[in-house]
Amino acid sequence: MRIFPLLPAAALALALALALALALAACSAVPGATPASSGAGAASPSPHESTTASAVATAAAAATPDPCGLVTEADITSVTGADPGPGRATPAGVYQACVYGKAVIVTARAIDRATFDTSSMQNPGAQRITGAGDAAVTATGDGGTAVIAWHKGVELNVLIPGGTVDAEKYLVARGLDRV
């Protein structure tokens, strides 16, 4: 049974914009982070700080499961009623991302629960929901509504422009079962 229609290529641009906006909003709320200084008196990070930040980013990326493996082509097909083809890995800042067809976007990142609880609520229109992972929210933007959930140190986001929260929640729950 088809839950929603796949949208045209224009929806992909909106979906990517929403996914990146959600990612940036989530990143801006990391506890302990401080805004960057600017101006002539601003200090550059020391080589140690740069190396440490790079090592942390590398470790987080290595700990993040492949979103194309968490939410599969078969999962998307079962929800949409149409095979979108294989997922395409796509860079998305601190996230690992997978794009299916022209519209379905799945992102994942390694994150602790406290950071998830804080950052997820920074997303536009964020509302807590149940039924996916240990903690979950919906967030609304120009590309539609996304479901963002956390389980066992992984945040998983699914955005289906024009889709339903129930369809996205189903896909997030399926993906988090594979963590």
Q: Is the pLDDT of residue 128 over 80?
A: yes
Q: What residues pair up with 149 in beta bridges, in sequence order? A: 136, 156
Q: What is the dihedral of CA 54, 58, 60, 65, to 10 degrees?
A: 160
> How far, in Å, are 14, 53, 61, 62, 117 from residue 58 at the CA level?
29, 9, 5, 6, 23
The average pLDDT across 88-101 equals 94
Among 28-32, 48-52, 63-67, 130-134, the range scoring the smallest mean pLDDT is 28-32
Spatial separation of the C-alpha atoms in residues 102 and 49, rounded to whole Å: 39
Spatial separation of the C-alpha atoms in residues 166 and 137, rounded to whole Å: 12
List the domain boundaries for the chain.
Answer: 65-179
Q: What is the pLDDT of residue 19?
A: 47
Choose which CATH entry (3.40.1000, 3.40.50, 3.90.320, 3.10.580) describes domain 65-179: 3.40.1000
Q: What is the pLDDT of residue 102?
A: 87
Spatial separation of the C-alpha atoms in residues 144 and 174, rounded to whole Å: 21
The average pLDDT across 3-8 equals 40
Longest dimension (CA), the chain: 61
Helix axes 9-27, 113-120, angle to 10 degrees: 120
Q: Which two tokens stand for residue 123?
A: 């997303």
Higher-pLDDT residue of 14 and 107 is: 107
Among 54-63, 68-77, 111-120, 131-140, the range scoring the smallest mean pLDDT is 54-63
pLDDT band at 62 (very low <50, low <70, confident <90, very high): low
Q: What is the pLDDT of residue 141?
A: 83
